[in-house]
Amino acid sequence: MKASHVAFLAASIAPALAAQDPAQFVNAFIGTLNGGHVFSGATLPWGSIKPGADSNSSDNQAGYVSDGSSITGISQLHDDGTGGGASLGNFPFLPLTTAQCANNNLSACTTDHIGRALAHGDPSASPGFFSIPLNNGVTAEVTVTEHVALHRFTYPNGTDQMLFLLDATTDLSGSWKGTGAVDLSSNPLTGGTRVTGSGEFGPSFGEGSYTVFFCFDSPTIPVQAQFYSSQGRNTISPNSTFQQNIGSNNPAGFLFGFAPQQNATLTVRMGISWTSTEKACKYAEDEIPQISSSSFDTVKAAARAKWNDVLGTVEIDATGVSEDEQVLFWSSLYRTYISPTNITGDNPLWVSTEPFYDSFYCIWDSFRVVHPLYAITAPNTQAEVVRALIDIYRHTGFLPDCRMSLDKGFTQGGSNADSLLSDSFVKGITAGIDWQTGFDAMFNDATAEGDFSVEGRGGIEARDMLGYVPFNDTLDNPPNEGPNTRRRAWAKRPNATHFFNVSGDWFNLWNPAANNSGFSGFIQPRNANGSWYFDPRWDVGDVFRPDHCSPVFGHTDCFLNPTGGEFYEASSWEYSFYAPQDMAKLVTAMGGSATFSSRLDEFFAAGFHDIGDEPGFLPTYLYNYVGQPVKTVDRVEATLNMFFNTSLNGLPGNDDSGAMGAYAVWSHLGFFPVAGQDTYLLSRPFFPRITIRNAATGAVAKITASNLSAQNIYIQSAKLNGKNYTKNWISHELFSKGGTLELVMGSNKNSVWGTKQADLPPSLSTGGFK
Ligand SMILES: *[C@@H]1O[C@H](CO)[C@@H](O)[C@H](O)[C@H]1NC(C)=O
Ligand SMILES: *[C@@H]1O[C@H](CO)[C@@H](O)[C@H](O)[C@H]1NC(C)=O
Ligand SMILES: *[C@@H]1O[C@H](CO)[C@@H](O)[C@H](O)[C@H]1NC(C)=O
Ligand SMILES: *[C@@H]1O[C@H](CO)[C@@H](O)[C@H](O)[C@H]1NC(C)=O
Ligand SMILES: *[C@@H]1O[C@H](CO)[C@@H](O)[C@H](O)[C@H]1NC(C)=O
Ligand SMILES: *[C@@H]1O[C@H](CO)[C@@H](O)[C@H](O)[C@H]1NC(C)=O
Ligand SMILES: *[C@@H]1O[C@H](CO)[C@@H](O)[C@H](O)[C@H]1NC(C)=O
Ligand SMILES: *[C@@H]1O[C@H](CO)[C@@H](O)[C@H](O)[C@H]1NC(C)=O
Ligand SMILES: *[C@@H]1O[C@H](CO)[C@@H](O)[C@H](O)[C@H]1NC(C)=O
Ligand SMILES: *[C@@H]1O[C@H](CO)[C@@H](O)[C@H](O)[C@H]1NC(C)=O
Ligand SMILES: *[C@@H]1O[C@H](CO)[C@@H](O)[C@H](O)[C@H]1NC(C)=O
Ligand SMILES: *[C@@H]1O[C@H](CO)[C@@H](O)[C@H](O)[C@H]1NC(C)=O
């Protein structure tokens, strides 16, 4: 299937309406092919329930894949853009016809999730809505509120019984843990049948298990019903009660036959809760009181309106901007708001009045671009996210890096929630946040080691002693022997002076002699005795390979696996550009501005750069640190042109909970956050006028780009709040207090704007961050 076959409404609506209805520009199918793993189903911003189709495809991490593979069901929960295993996909539905169940004989229907899969036509989607025509003639549609899905199935004309399957045990990864139950009875409120149930499943990139609960309502009593399990089939007389523990009898579920009405349209409601079936039912009744084809249209319209509210904190003047560019922008922004999920009030793990968010998948991916974006476009949500993370620390003892489906997820390196918190703190996000406890949480990450495969960070003692975490750090391994005999308590509680000092530790892993492609000085692993470590597998003859893990050498060696390289999901070439707290020192270490600049050129030209993974984002903006903002503009432009587009395979890697989307958003806005800092590096906007409304403070930031055209993409001069402005970066004040940044664009690449020493972004060693 091609992108052009996917239905969405952009073409038909006049540009003038864009401000009121940015949802029209959202193409939910971008990145549903080629490993983007984008969730294309229905959700509200940060919504708890995320129903959508599930494809019989090895790439079905988010359910639906645009590879033409058949549909095993329309399930209720998904994650967006993740790597790891296929996530969630619980409690799928599938509409069936006599093509699957001859003579409407329920015993004849295939229930196995692969065996029952149906081919399909082109799906369509818009914010809060997903629809797919199945080749048995039934069109499945779904729309949502926060915790509840309304599904509408339109059967072929002439259908004499609307057959329907509810699978209570099969999720996308087959992770059923052997505990669950279902309970069927009539529901006096709807006059129909209610099925409640729960199941215990395994997380897709974490440890432990989770239990999730559902409440299904049909508006009428079926004319026939059957419970199936691996033990066989039980015919249930309609309008009776039926209870069953499922245990290891999975797969298990129900088959129903409903009398056709409303032109053979079956509308059913599904509430989901992480706490109880009672809560799932209460959500269902409160959020969608009426189960009908017309209430479906009402819920769908409300979902779109909610999306327009959330998307609408950003307004763009699209004069002279192609529709395709607008689709890329709004679809990217849309995806940044899918995860994490707001399940405040539905937390089964502990009692708290704080907000609760799940599906941080993972903060390693999202701290760089997604949460800094919230800081300007959705600061109230960001405040809730920060509170939720601090509450996770309160109740689990650590900030997470990854969490999904209530479980601890695998840390991808570092304690990235620290950067997320710092970012919000320096940006003055305060609403309801207990920053003292936030500080305690970060202090804990820096000084106490937990099980760093799922929380905190590793190598703390070794780093305190050596100034770096050595290769094969034996200090982490009990019992207390070998280097562990040097174990000691912190002599004094570390303070700001200490933390300022250790922010320079990266330089202890800087090997000035390591060289590659004509450049010297690289981050290299080091042994505990101070000697440089060479991996014998590829550092042949003790020549270190800084390109290992890059797209050109051993790219797939370096994921979260024990035999991987010393660098995680990026090469030493890429990590060696990452000292955002002190880029001035890094520039000097690399041999000065000119060498730094040509080294960046080589990094991109030689293919060492990997934009498909998050460490690759910031390097595209680093020319600003040597006073060459024009080269940043060219590099960002090239990156967008090569790797981001509106097609089904329009992403360079997993969307990673909207991280790829956020990169595209920032790059269109024309400035990029240095995560954890109050620094935004300027490139160039793609729109002549951008307005960002701060929902927390009411402040309005305006960015204008006069003379902007296809050729006039370089900033020639700038004014901030009416005064000449030559720095090639801005601070958060524009967004917290409001103001106007006026840029004058031109084609001249030799403008002096942003090129002087005084124009460079802040670095610790040159007195920045005061
Ligand atoms: C229904 O299907 C089952 C399984 O194929 C079969 O054994 C049974 O005879 C069928 N019943 C009728 C009434 O056709
Ligand atoms: C599902 O996928 C498997 C593995 O790719 C394939 O063998 C099977 O034919 C598919 N089933 C359907 C119904 O498409
Ligand atoms: C189904 O039947 C209704 C009424 O009989 C008619 O209005 C509608 O167009 C038909 N739909 C299709 C898809 O044929
Ligand atoms: C279903 O059963 C309930 C309670 O037993 C009864 O009140 C209701 O009238 C029945 N509905 C139908 C359609 O039989
Ligand atoms: C059936 O479909 C027709 C044509 O789409 C429509 O006019 C009619 O209202 C529908 N009937 C019901 C009960 O939904
Ligand atoms: C999160 O959910 C809670 C409870 O439903 C709600 O009060 C809050 O407004 C939500 N937050 C956002 C940002 O939507
Ligand atoms: C790591 O250190 C331990 C203990 O000193 C040693 O037994 C092991 O061989 C080392 N592993 C590697 C890969 O060097
Ligand atoms: C931090 O502690 C050291 C002594 O351990 C002291 O010399 C220094 O002044 C303290 N710095 C701050 C900012 O308190
Ligand atoms: C940290 O302290 C050590 C030892 O005093 C010193 O060598 C190093 O330069 C300091 N680093 C920074 C960034 O101040
Ligand atoms: C630097 O490169 C040369 C070959 O170009 C190599 O012989 C030498 O070992 C390299 N130095 C290091 C420290 O890797
Ligand atoms: C340092 O440690 C490494 C790894 O254990 C070892 O191969 C090397 O011989 C040691 N060097 C010295 C000088 O002890
Ligand atoms: C501001 O910049 C413009 C050129 O962009 C220059 O003509 C003017 O003199 C500057 N004003 C001040 C106060 O520096």
Does residue 263 have its Cβ closer than 6 Å to ligand 3? Answer: yes
Task: Give the pTM.
Answer: 0.95
Strand order in the sheet with 700-706: 314-317, 689-693, 700-706, 739-746, 714-720, 723-724
The Cα 401–Cα 408 span in angstroms is 9
pLDDT category of residue 591 using cuts at 50, 70 and 90 = very high
Mean pLDDT of 349-364: 97
The Cα 536–Cα 472 span in angstroms is 14
CA 3 / ligand 7 centre spacing (Å) = 51
Please state the φ and ψ torsions of residue 616, each to the nearest 5 degrees. Answer: -80, -5
Does residue 108 have its Cβ closer than 6 Å to ligand 1? Answer: yes
CA 52 / ligand 2 centre spacing (Å) = 19
Q: Would you say 224 and 429 are in contact if contact means Cβ atoms under 8 Å apart?
A: no
How high is the pLDDT of residue 400? 96
CATH architecture of 1-19+314-336+659-770: 2-Layer Sandwich (3.30)
Mean pLDDT of 555-571: 86
Q: Would you say 364 and 614 are in contact if contact means Cβ atoms under 8 Å apart?
A: yes
Does residue 262 have its Cβ closer than 6 Å to ligand 3? Answer: no
What are 135's two structure tokens? 């080749």
Is the peptide bond preceding residue 685 cis, with omega within 30 degrees of 0?
no
Nearest CA to ligand 6 atom 12: 381
Q: Domain boundaries in the chain?
A: 1-19+314-336+659-770, 22-307
Mean pLDDT of 89-104: 98
Residues 6+ apart with CB under 8 A from 501: none
Number of Cβ within 10 Å of residue 283's Cβ equals: 23
Nearest to 641 by CA among 369, 334, 328: 328
Residues 6+ apart with CB under 8 A from 479: none
Ligand 10 cavity residues, CB under 6 Å: 513-515, 543-544
Residue 551 above 90 pLDDT?
yes
Nearest CA to ligand 5 atom 6: 263
The Cα 148–Cα 566 span in angstroms is 44
Single-letter amino acid code for the residue at 305: A
Please state the φ and ψ torsions of residue 266, each to the nearest 5 degrees. Answer: -110, 115
Proportion of the chain above pLDDT 90, given as a percent: 89
Mean pLDDT of 6-13: 38
How high is the pLDDT of residue 472? 84
CA 236 / ligand 1 centre spacing (Å) = 16
Residue 218 above 60 pLDDT?
yes
Does residue 474 have its Cβ closer than 6 Å to ligand 1? Answer: no
Instruction: Name residue, tokens 């524009």.
Output: 734
CA-derived radius of gyration, the chain? 27
Is the peptide bond preceding residue 761 cis, with omega within 30 degrees of 0?
no
pLDDT category of residue 458 using cuts at 50, 70 and 90 = confident
| Burial class of residue 616 in the structure, from the number of CB atoms within 10 Å of its CB (0-12 exposed, 13-18 middle, 19+ buried) | buried
Nearest CA to ligand 4 atom 7: 188
Task: Report in angstroms the alpha-carbon separations of 210 from 88, 127, 283, 525, 643.
Answer: 10, 28, 20, 38, 36
Does residue 103 have its Cβ closer than 6 Å to ligand 1? Answer: yes
Strand order in the sheet with 180-187: 124-126, 129-133, 139-144, 148-154, 265-273, 210-217, 192-201, 180-187, 242-245
Ligand nearest to the CA of 191: 4
Atom of ligand 10 nearest to the CA of 515: 1
The Cα 469–Cα 382 span in angstroms is 32
Nearest CA to ligand 12 atom 3: 724
Does residue 348 have its Cβ closer than 6 Å to ligand 9? Answer: no
Q: Is the dihedral of CA 45, 48, 51, 54 positive or negative?
A: positive
How high is the pLDDT of residue 1? 28
How high is the pLDDT of residue 476? 61
Ligand nearest to the CA of 265: 5
Q: List, as one string, the DSSP characters of 373-420.
A: HHHHH-HHHHHHHHHHHHHHHHHHSS--S-EETTEEBPP-SS-THHHH
Single-letter amino acid code for the residue at 548: H
The Cα 572–Cα 522 span in angstroms is 7
Does residue 247 have its Cβ closer than 6 Å to ligand 9? Answer: no
Nearest CA to ligand 6 atom 4: 344
How high is the pLDDT of residue 599? 98
Ligand nearest to the CA of 492: 8
Nearest CA to ligand 5 atom 4: 263
Nearest CA to ligand 10 atom 12: 514
Q: List, as one string, the DSSP characters of 685-699.
A: -SSSEEEEE-TTT--
Give the pLDDT confidence of 630-677 residue by residue, as tens digits: 999 999 999 999 999 999 999 999 999 999 999 999 999 999 999 999
Residue 5 above 50 pLDDT?
no
Nearest CA to ligand 3 atom 13: 157
The Cα 65–Cα 182 span in angstroms is 30
Mean pLDDT of 752-770: 96
Q: What is the distance, to the nearest Å, from the Cα of residue 672 to the centroid of all Cα atoms in its chain? A: 18
Is the peptide bond preceding residue 400 cis, with omega within 30 degrees of 0?
no
Work out the angle at residue 651's Cα, subtended by the Cα atoms of residues 648 and 652, and round it to the nearest 5 degrees.
Answer: 135
Lowest mean pLDDT among 280-289, 325-334, 553-562, 710-719: 553-562
Exposed e or buried b per residue across 132-144, where buried means at least 16 C-beta atoms within 10 angstroms of its C-beta: bbbebbbbbbbbb
pLDDT category of residue 490 using cuts at 50, 70 and 90 = low
Atom of ligand 10 nearest to the CA of 513: 13
Residues 6+ apart with CB under 8 A from 602: 517, 518, 519, 608
Atom of ligand 10 nearest to the CA of 544: 14
Residue 506 above 60 pLDDT?
yes
CA 410 / ligand 9 centre spacing (Å) = 32
Nearest CA to ligand 12 atom 11: 724
Does residue 501 have its Cβ closer than 6 Å to ligand 9? Answer: yes
Proportion of the chain above pLDDT 70, given as a percent: 95
Does residue 472 have its Cβ closer than 6 Å to ligand 7? Answer: yes
Nearest CA to ligand 10 atom 3: 515
The Cα 95–Cα 134 span in angstroms is 9
Residue 488 above 70 pLDDT?
no
- Mean pLDDT taken over the chain: 94
How high is the pLDDT of residue 566? 86
Work out the angle at residue 757's Cα, subtended by the Cα atoms of residues 754 and 759, and round it to the nearest 5 degrees.
Answer: 35
Nearest CA to ligand 12 atom 4: 717
The Cα 55–Cα 61 span in angstroms is 10
CA 753 / ligand 12 centre spacing (Å) = 11
Mean pLDDT of 236-252: 96
pLDDT category of residue 486 using cuts at 50, 70 and 90 = very low
Q: Are strands 129-133 and 124-126 parallel, antiparallel or unpaired?
A: antiparallel
DSSP 11: G
DSSP 4: G
The Cα 469–Cα 94 span in angstroms is 52
The Cα 680–Cα 721 span in angstroms is 17
From 472, 481, 526, 535, mutation site for ligand 7 pocket: most ligand atoms within 8 A of C-beta: 472
CA 433 / ligand 2 centre spacing (Å) = 49
- Tell which wins on pLDDT, 20 or 392: 392
Q: Are strands 689-693 and 680-682 parallel, antiparallel or unpaired?
A: unpaired
CA 484 / ligand 7 centre spacing (Å) = 14
Q: Are strands 739-746 and 700-706 parallel, antiparallel or unpaired?
A: parallel
Q: List, as one string, the DSSP characters of 608-676.
A: ---TTSGGGTGGGGGGGGGT-HHHHHHHHHHHHHHH--SSTT--SS--TTTHHHHHHHHHHHTEEE-TT
Atom of ligand 9 nearest to the CA of 582: 13
Q: Which residues pair with 149 in a beta bridge?
A: 144, 270
Q: Is the dihedral of CA 146, 691, 728, 724 positive or negative?
A: negative
Residues 6+ apart with CB under 8 A from 748: 714, 716
How high is the pLDDT of residue 669? 98
Residue 8 above 50 pLDDT?
no
| Burial class of residue 518 in the structure, from the number of CB atoms within 10 Å of its CB (0-12 exposed, 13-18 middle, 19+ buried) | exposed
User: To the nearest 5 percent, what fractions of the chain are helix, strand and coil?
Assistant: 30, 20, 50
Does residue 107 have its Cβ closer than 6 Å to ligand 1? Answer: yes
Work out the angle at residue 43's Cα, subtended by the Cα atoms of residues 275 and 649, and round it to the nearest 5 degrees.
Answer: 125
Give the pLDDT confidence of 401-422 residue by residue, as tens digits: 999 999 999 999 899 999 999 9
DSSP 567: S
CA 68 / ligand 2 centre spacing (Å) = 11
Does residue 263 have its Cβ closer than 6 Å to ligand 5? Answer: yes
Exposed e or buried b per residue across 109-126, where buried means at least 16 C-beta atoms within 10 angstroms of its C-beta: bebebeebbbebeebbbb
Mean pLDDT of 277-284: 98
What are 496's two structure tokens? 């700001």
Ligand nearest to the CA of 504: 9
Does residue 765 have its Cβ closer than 6 Å to ligand 9? Answer: no
Nearest to 684 by CA among 725, 731, 718: 718
Length of the chain: 770
CA 473 / ligand 11 centre spacing (Å) = 14
Nearest CA to ligand 1 atom 14: 105
Atom of ligand 5 nearest to the CA of 263: 1
Determine the topology of domain 22-307 in CATH.
Beta-galactosidase; Chain A, domain 5 (2.70.98)
Exposed e or buried b per residue across 467-482, where buried means at least 16 C-beta atoms within 10 angstroms of its C-beta: bbbbbebebeeeeeee
Nearest CA to ligand 5 atom 1: 263
From 474, 484, 534, mutation site for ligand 7 pocket: most ligand atoms within 8 A of C-beta: 474
